[in-house]
Structure 1
């Protein structure tokens, strides 16, 4: 005959396939929802990643071009100097060659005229570059641009800023064959303003001349700008990436589209009203930053698309260096992601439904077979289980009785120690009364005092017997008791032996009440304390300490018992609560004390007990020993 629970198990097995099938359907729905949620997260991550990565790309490209411009600008004067130096060296070589060729067959005047004829029409930079020759006495020998200066003394010639250009050249050439000088002159189309010009002069020793030429910095920078802009216009990165430059007036200087070059688009506005060029210039003037607008036309596939642009201002030349990316690529990726999700959901739903149907059929047949098999096995196991439970119950009762008897033996030994002093005191007092009586020294006051002391000792002996009687009482009844008093009661049963064996027991006890079996808790405390005491005997320590703490934490009463005996070997610490496991001699221990302690705490008091090795500080000294922890629930 099957019990009610066994019938429930059989019915559960019969209906289990249908329950699992329903769970699978629920799982399919949850997977679908999860995929939708994952898709939304992927979309958000894709957007963030796309924007972040592309911002990093355009930022990197703009800064790469910006650094290139800065580098070219910073080296422009050095290149200018190198250019004019090469021009002068070239002409100096021509003059030297002519001098060496004709010095022995022509006069100085003839050679001078020959040199002037050669250099007068020797021009460069679209005929803007020219040469001059001066002697060290201040006389101009040649001036290709202004022949009227030839033959005149230019010692006191000043530039636009009042610098003596000839005298400055003489100073720089002192003890040198060549030098650079900086002068400031007006230009052909702007004589009122001064423009910086760098000259290079080189000495021609045979005639005590110096030959020179120069170039305006602004003209050189103009050529440099054209070179830079041409290079930037040809730059490409990724499939459609490019860098473009506009000046602060709104003129396009560099762009992928050649028809934009030179075009002023200061009033360019997108369909949302964003003034694209003005915002770009504003951002560039402030340093750098990102702007977003609707791109007029994406190069491919020729559609309008949102665009994010990073721009950085090059203030020396009033340039806005910019690059951007279109969000059209993100739209394409999102469509691919959506298609991927659809295909993934479709595939998973078909697979799971197929598996669910097959599972339902197989599991139904299997459950029918298992339920029939279980009916037979339940009957056989039932009798075996009852027999096993009965055997275990007898075994546990025997172990409990053995543990109790061992504890009672320890207590009887303690009681015998505790009775010695009061019995000795009673004997001494009674003998004193008798002697005083015989000697005639007896008086009533002494008699009363002696009887009081005998009565106190008798009460102490009676309390000891009462504590032992309470502990040995076989009646198990749950009561509410004060843990602090219970622990003190357990300590008092060992107090005499602590003194005899020089064990210093320290207690820190809160006042906590619990509900349970007080005597069984005392048995556990005595077992643990006795183990501490036995470890001291084996360790031969001079200073012996046991610390007992009672604290309330997280709705639990925690009893902590630790000693300084050095701790338990880590290789066996996990086995100390096993039945019949002991590290003592067979004559000293049975190995059931800590096992029964755990049984009492866990099964009878519904708590927990554990042990570990611990290092601690007491009175500014470091110690190590075992720490037992008993945790009991505080129930209302």
Structure 2
């Protein structure tokens, strides 16, 4: 009886021991798989994060490159657009002169018609009020110069800009072609300033009086207008879910900050 009891106790102990060992093995395996899964999850999350960051970097690089290309295109095409607009303005002035001449020819003297044309063009402004018309004779006498009327009637034939370029001679020279028109670059005084700035002008011959009618614009004004237009566009540029563009000057001054507009400038 005692022997049987002992055997049963031993069997029960062995069974409990085996169950305990099994539980320990199960717990160990569970812990191992849990840790392995956590490590795999962490590794996968890190990889996904790195891939997301790489995709964001690629998106930003592409966006910046697209912006740069757009700005380069704007800058390269600015002068051609400016030239076309100046030419259009001068063509309009010549149309006005032709209309006044045709309406009054035979009714008024040439001097009276000339005065009508001059006074019709004198107040006209464009390019945000900066642009104006000028008239000169082909031998260099100033007929109309709204920004310096005291020079009207005087000869500008020998006037030179800081580069040594003869301004009036250059304007007349570009009309010596079949079209009797052309573009000229030179330096002249912006309204109210005492320092000459580079200017692009277009001139056309008005045959009835042998006049050269022209208009122009200063390069620095065009560049300033281009910069402001570009900054306005960049201020409104958005990409991705929360992407925007900020612009700083080379000196670190904030030019565009969509999220903190008060910091601009």
Q: Same fold (TM over 0.5)?
A: yes
Give the match for residue 253 of structure 1: 255
Give the match for residue 208 of structure 2: 206
- Find the residue that maps to 1:173 and give its secondary structure: coil
Q: How does 1:429-448 map to 2 (within 5 A)?
A: none
Cα distance change, pair 189–139 in 1 and its aligned pair in 2 (3 A): closer
Cα distance change, pair 189–48 in 1 and its aligned pair in 2 (3 A): farther
In 2, the alpha carbon distance for the partners of 1:188 and 1:97 equals: 29
| Deviations 1:270-328, CA, capped at 9 Å, x for gaps | xxxxxxxxxxxxxxxxxxxxxxxxxxxxxxxxxxxxxxxxxxxxxxxxxxxxxxxxxxx
Q: Which runs of 5+ in 1 are unaligned?
A: 1-17, 263-636
The Cα of 1:65 is off from its aligned counterpart by 1.2
Give the match for residue 165 of structure 1: 167
| Deviations 1:465-505, CA, capped at 9 Å, x for gaps | xxxxxxxxxxxxxxxxxxxxxxxxxxxxxxxxxxxxxxxxx
Q: Is the 8 A contact 2:172 2:212 kept in 1?
A: no
- Find the residue that maps to 2:106 and give its secondary structure: coil
Do residues 55 (structure 1) and 57 (structure 2) align? yes
The Cα of 1:111 is off from its aligned counterpart by 0.8
Give the match for residue 102 of structure 1: 104
Give the match for residue 72 of structure 1: 74
- Find the residue that maps to 2:238 and give its secondary structure: coil
Q: Is the 8 A contact 2:90 2:203 kept in 1?
A: yes
In 2, the alpha carbon distance for the partners of 1:128 and 1:246 equals: 29
Give the match for residue 45 of structure 1: 47
The Cα of 1:188 is off from its aligned counterpart by 4.5
| Deviations 1:398-446, CA, capped at 9 Å, x for gaps | xxxxxxxxxxxxxxxxxxxxxxxxxxxxxxxxxxxxxxxxxxxxxxxxx
In 1, the alpha carbon distance for the partners of 2:189 and 2:138 equals: 25
- Find the residue that maps to 2:204 and give its secondary structure: strand
Q: How does 1:595-606 map to 2 (within 5 A)?
A: none
Give the match for residue 183 of structure 1: 186
- Find the residue that maps to 1:184 and give its secondary structure: strand
Q: How does 1:442-461 map to 2 (within 5 A)?
A: none
Q: Is the 8 A contact 2:234 2:245 kept in 1?
A: yes
Q: Is the 8 A contact 1:141 1:151 kept in 2?
A: yes
Q: What TM-score, normalized to structure 1?
A: 0.37
User: Between Structure 1 and Structure 2, which shows a larger proportion of strand residues?
Assistant: 1
Give the match for residue 123 of structure 2: 121
Give the match for residue 230 of structure 2: 228
The Cα of 1:108 is off from its aligned counterpart by 0.9
The Cα of 1:80 is off from its aligned counterpart by 1.6
Do residues 174 (structure 1) and 171 (structure 2) align? no
The Cα of 1:29 is off from its aligned counterpart by 3.6
| Deviations 1:570-602, CA, capped at 9 Å, x for gaps | xxxxxxxxxxxxxxxxxxxxxxxxxxxxxxxxx
In 2, the alpha carbon distance for the partners of 1:212 and 1:135 equals: 11
Cα distance change, pair 120–186 in 1 and its aligned pair in 2 (3 A): closer
The Cα of 1:47 is off from its aligned counterpart by 2.9
Q: Is the 8 A contact 1:61 1:243 kept in 2?
A: no
Q: Which runs of 5+ in 2 are unaligned?
A: 1-18
In 1, the alpha carbon distance for the partners of 2:70 and 2:192 equals: 31
How many aligned positions are there? 244
Q: How does 1:259-278 map to 2 (within 5 A)?
A: 259-262=262-265
Q: Which has the higher contact order (CA 8 A, sep 6+)?
A: 2
The Cα of 1:50 is off from its aligned counterpart by 2.6
In 1, the alpha carbon distance for the partners of 2:95 and 2:257 equals: 43
The Cα of 1:68 is off from its aligned counterpart by 1.2
- Runs of at least 4 residues off by over 4 Å: 18-27
Q: How does 1:370-389 map to 2 (within 5 A)?
A: none
In 1, the alpha carbon distance for the partners of 2:99 and 2:192 equals: 37
Give the match for residue 472 of structure 1: none
Cα distance change, pair 260–189 in 1 and its aligned pair in 2 (3 A): farther
